[in-house]
Structure 1
């Protein structure tokens, strides 16, 4: 899965006690975190608000 905010890779941090219900993911670049049960505007790049999207150069300059 990729980050909806900057398109970098995401890693799984946690999962629900009931298998397959939800996962918590975190971007390895911008550190954005989300739960897989959140709405598309928080979980997919196409629906993520453009005003809050980041490019690779923006994440690189923030480090």
Structure 2
């Protein structure tokens, strides 16, 4: 994965990875924050791709991430 010089819209972390690119070069990229794992496509509106336009209600800080409850484990698959 290639590193991008961007800021995460959700947590303002500066390490963002390139996950995928469009089959047609230069049309879109899919990016992911290396800290909070927020993922977005570069063609989404500013409210999803730019920190200053991202809704305040959904912004995270390092403290929010550190204090988050544990994500539950995925249960075993059911057998038929």
Asked whether the two chains share a fold, i.e. TM above 0.5, the reply is yes
- Provide the residue aligned with 1:7 in structure 2: 12
Give the superposition deviation at 1:24.
0.1
TM-score normalised to structure 2 length:
0.74
TM-score normalised to structure 1 length:
0.93
CA-atom RMSD in angstroms = 1.1
Flag structure 1 segments of 5+ consecutive residues without an equivalent: none
Separation in 1, partners of 2:24, 2:12: 28
Q: Could you say which structure has the larger radius of gyration?
A: 2
- Provide the residue aligned with 2:47 in structure 1: 41
Separation in 1, partners of 2:34, 2:65: 11
Q: Which runs of 4+ in 1 moved over 3 A?
A: none
Flag structure 2 segments of 5+ consecutive residues without an equivalent: 1-5, 71-80
Moved more, 53-62 or 1-10: 53-62
| Residues 17-44 of structure 1 deviation map (CA, whole Å, 9 limit, x = unaligned) | 1111000000111110000000000000
Which structure has more relative contact order (CA 8 Å, sep 6+)? It is 1
